[in-house]
Chain A
């Protein structure tokens, strides 16, 4: 409304300056300035002149506008508000509204409250007053009042409807009259060729609208005179403001401590010290504290004084510092591969080497919490208090230096290495084997009850004698000495002494003489037993074995009371001892060949059943082995010299070193034991190399420092033993060769071994029915 008023004022001044017709330019200017008003006027004019001037020309329109502007200007120039305006202002005042403030009209209520006749509240709305130059288009509402019906209903009438006053609106001229007119005139400016459906007049565009279209087409700002880039008005920065500084002195209170505040603080401090002010605690916590105060605690260690640590105190070992694999970002080589990860996951948690798998994280803040922490600490605590910690002196010794310096087997040649000759012929197991003292003949006895003599160097069977058809030949032994060739064999309770035919008449004759020498003494021995008064059987009966065996060369037979398992000759060839483990009191017997006499040296033998017995190679000592001990007796003084305890469960055989100071024993519990007779009753060395029981052990009787054992696992083992005279140095025992080749039959392998007297050759008897010579 303000702008409208300004427009009015401007218009008034223009009119005052000059009349409209005189200065067309001025009118044009004002017309353009009053853009909004011009349009409104034209609309208003249209209402009036619609009836007649439907097809007014441009000039006519212009004229019309000018005339109306003049008339309006005339009215306005009077500067007197019309009644309408006056009323409006009046009503605005009564409503408490400044009518000039049109912008605020939306904010305040557009009604007033009055009391009606009944005394109730009545809303009285303002009369809407379309101001003269307001842009309210409702004011130019349709003049045709026929409503929303098609105009075609009025086709038969000369009018097309009625105006608001009920007068007919006549149909504009159409047809030929118009055509002729159109022909005569040019197409008017603003012609659209459309008909306004409400008025029925041609719908033409006004000059302003054309101008507007033109601007839009030219992409200019549609409104005339709009400045898009106005000059800035610097309201503030251009103003310089000055403030004066106070010259008044600083007040004292700004730098002197406040006595009042100090007083108040002291008051608070005093209250805190006296306990009147307490820090805040939740009530339940306070109650708990009170309860705790009421409980009574006793400190057991109150008067304890620190003591120095005990000698046996061992601090817990420290955990190893974490390694690369415990890092949150370990090097890639520490990261497990898929296979490792799978293996780790598949193993039992108890058996894992590490309780964790190295994992990689981009940064430390992405590392999750360690969920095994509590378990790990618990395990550590268990480790610490369940595992006793003991201080031990660790020996810092290189274990290889403790091993004896053994020579290489190659340096200890010669020793038997391969099987050279097989002596095949026995049916069933061969139980015993022996090589005679000349080294030419090998004797064997076996389960078939035969004794066979073989040529050692060619493997040809030279002689055989069947001693028994039921009992096996348990043992065969040659009588030592070169003066005769006498073989002894034990079958059951019988000892047979025989002279194998080796086509050597002198030797046979000499042997026969040796065997027959005792027949004169046999009666004497019998007499001796009778003179003692006790009518006892002699311990053995010596006799001829019978004509059949005598023809074969078996010349003498001695029968004892129980089955004999072992025969061992004294080195001179006159004595031999037999052992029958089942014979209670007469288990060990010593036989004198030259007298055909049998003696039983032990009436009672401690230590259980004897297993084997042997003469010492040089001294008058006699060794008897029971299951667990070997006893050494002096035959001359008839007393026990020493007891050897090999520490095995069941001795199978033993042999005495040709030097006489050492002894080896083999046992059924797979042990081979070396004893130094001068040193101790305990073994000097225990060798456990066999998988099965050891059946026999033998020293080489000649010049070679060898000994051998044989076992039920079908193998022989050859050892080299260096025995020195120095008492300070023990013997050196080196295993040099394992000879295998005998088949294991019924869990029996090699039953006996015998060394060649001169060469490093050994003969073995096997349960597979063969003997072998190993060279």
Chain B
């Protein structure tokens, strides 16, 4: 059994924590006696998320999403996804979307009829549909067509969705039903459909040009004639900017939203009612859902919410949950801006932060919090991915400097095929290897 062609490195866990030092140092750090019996588990060693590639943009990149056979959109597309059609879409502050292939070629760029201001969020709906939202208060659905064997690619707007009264900062999509959720700075959650026929008409007052001055009209005259529609429902449930929204991974009729008013709300999308409110102690900036005990009867959802207080809170959104705050992930030095669940299992998570790093967390590695951390369970990151752009400059770090200055991470995605894709202030889409990062149990 041990006669493997190549040596397999192992990692060791003691009491659920990865052993990152020597055993002697571990004993000293925890004040343990050498006579004591330790339960040591070992797993296949993890290979760090090695840097693979960077694609440069023209402006700050606010969000990225991936399309591959293993990604969510790829699964939804099913057979329609062509072989080796692995794509990355990035949304930029200059209002453009850009589509990349894995080797870094820019395949398509949204040109006319796009967002009039910064794009804040982008998601693949399927291999041919992309949803994006931005500062211009619209959610847009794009048609992405690759024809002639992938030589001709077009990215054209197919739908403009109006309804929000402030910048739309986050999106989530559900491919099979064609539903799009949006979170806006006006505190509302929008539910939209991608089908032109079933969508209600757009509210006239919000359409471009409505009541705008002459100059504004002139400016907007170049707008394309994409169909304009309104929301299926617009739920003003937060009284502060809503920063994140996501579908329940199991049930597309349930959504979760996070806001700067410290709350996470569970929304029943069929009735547009708030079912549960979880109040945390900090403004929340990102949200993602993780599945627990997938495929069993006790399957449930765990929400990871990034806070402005530089940590990630894992909460149990069930009404019946006894403990709401399950775990706190500490380690970031600045505001955490984006989260993505690991594709391989239900205990891995990657987070991007304004401190210029992405951190990979193993939710199984738990320790008790110290007194200053306020109690509860705390986990620390397994890997830290630095921005490659910062490594080149090697700035001198002064004491008063803002952590991650010039390299804020705004968006992160984790896919089995691509690995960890992150983008941010340094105008780069950075790809790091994402396989076998965490030990399989």
Contacts and interface: CB of A to CB of B under 8 A. Distances in A.
Contacts of B308: 420, 759, 761, 775
A741 B137 contact: no
B310 to A, nearest CB: 8
A439 B403 CA distance: 22
A758 B372 CA distance: 25
B335 A506 contact: no
A458 B240 contact: no
B256 interface: no
Contacts of A759: 260, 283, 308
Given A414-B282, A440-B241, A509-B211, A772 B410 contact: no
A742 interface: yes
Contact of B240 (A418, A504, A509, A758): A758
Nearest to A770: B402
Interface string A428-470: 0000000000111000000000000000011110000000000
A175 interface: no
Q: With a 10 A CB-CB cut-off, give which of A414, A512, A551, A742 has the most chain B CB atoms.
A: A414
Contact of A505 (B212, B260, B399, B403): B212
B400 A505 contact: no
Contacts of A761: 308
A759 B240 CA distance: 10
A646 B354 CA distance: 42
Of listed A502, A504, A714, A759, residue having the most chain B CB within 10 A: A504
Contact of B403 (A418, A458, A459, A512): A418
A758 B260 contact: yes
B165 A458 contact: no
Interface string B343-354: 000000000001
Interface string B271-298: 0000000000111010000000000000
Nearest to A739: B400
Nearest to B425: A459
A503 interface: yes
Contacts of B408: 421, 458-459
Contacts, number: 87
Contact of B334 (A420, A458, A509): A420
B384 interface: no
Interface in B156-173: 165-167
B369 to A, nearest CB: 14
B346 to A, nearest CB: 30
A772 B210 contact: no
Interface string A713-728: 0100000000000000
A234 B369 CA distance: 121
Contacts of B354: 420-421
B135 interface: yes
B117 interface: yes
A460 B117 CA distance: 12
Contacts of A714: 400
Interface in A727-759: 740-743, 758-759
A741 B402 contact: yes
Which range contains the number of B residues in contact with the other chain? 35 or more
Interface in B106-163: 116-118, 135-137
A410 interface: yes
A505 B403 CA distance: 35
Interface in A33-53: none
B196 interface: no
Interface in A509-563: 509, 512, 551
A414 B281 contact: yes
Contacts of B116: 503
B185 interface: yes
Interface in A458-509: 458-460, 502-506, 509
A772 B283 contact: no
A504 B212 CA distance: 10
A506 B165 contact: yes
A422 interface: yes
B60 interface: yes
Nearest to B164: A504
B210 A460 contact: no
B405 A422 contact: yes
B166 A512 contact: no
A419 interface: yes
Contacts of A742: 400
B93 interface: yes
Residue among A422, A457, A506, A741 having the largest count of chain B Cβ atoms under 10 Å = A457
A420 B211 contact: no
A761 B283 CA distance: 11
Given A503-B136, A512-B213, A460 B93 contact: yes
A506 B204 CA distance: 12
B270 interface: no
Nearest to B220: A505
B208 A505 contact: yes
Contact of A410 (B118, B213, B215, B372): B372
B205 A506 contact: yes
Given A418-B334, A458-B410, A504 B402 contact: no
A457 B334 CA distance: 12
A414 B280 CA distance: 13
B214 interface: no
Contacts of B366: none
A443 to B, nearest CB: 17
A743 B399 CA distance: 11
A506 B205 CA distance: 8
A570 to B, nearest CB: 24
Contact of B400 (A440, A457, A740): A740
Nearest to A456: B241
Given A503-B167, A504-B137, 12 more contacts: A410-B372, A438-B185, A457-B285, A460-B118, A502-B135, A503-B117, A504-B165, A506-B206, A714-B400, A740-B400, A741-B399, A775-B308
Interface of A: 410, 414, 418-422, 438-440, 457-460, 502-506, 509, 512, 551, 714, 740-743, 758-759, 761, 772, 775
Those 10 A-B pairs whose CB atoms lie nearest each other, nearest first = A741-B400, A503-B117, A419-B402, A422-B402, A503-B136, A503-B135, A420-B335, A505-B212, A509-B211, A420-B334
22 contacts: A414-B281, A414-B282, A419-B400, A420-B334, A440-B166, A440-B185, A457-B241, A458-B60, A458-B62, A458-B410, A459-B425, A460-B60, A502-B167, A504-B165, A505-B208, A505-B211, A506-B211, A509-B211, A741-B400, A743-B400, A758-B240, A759-B283
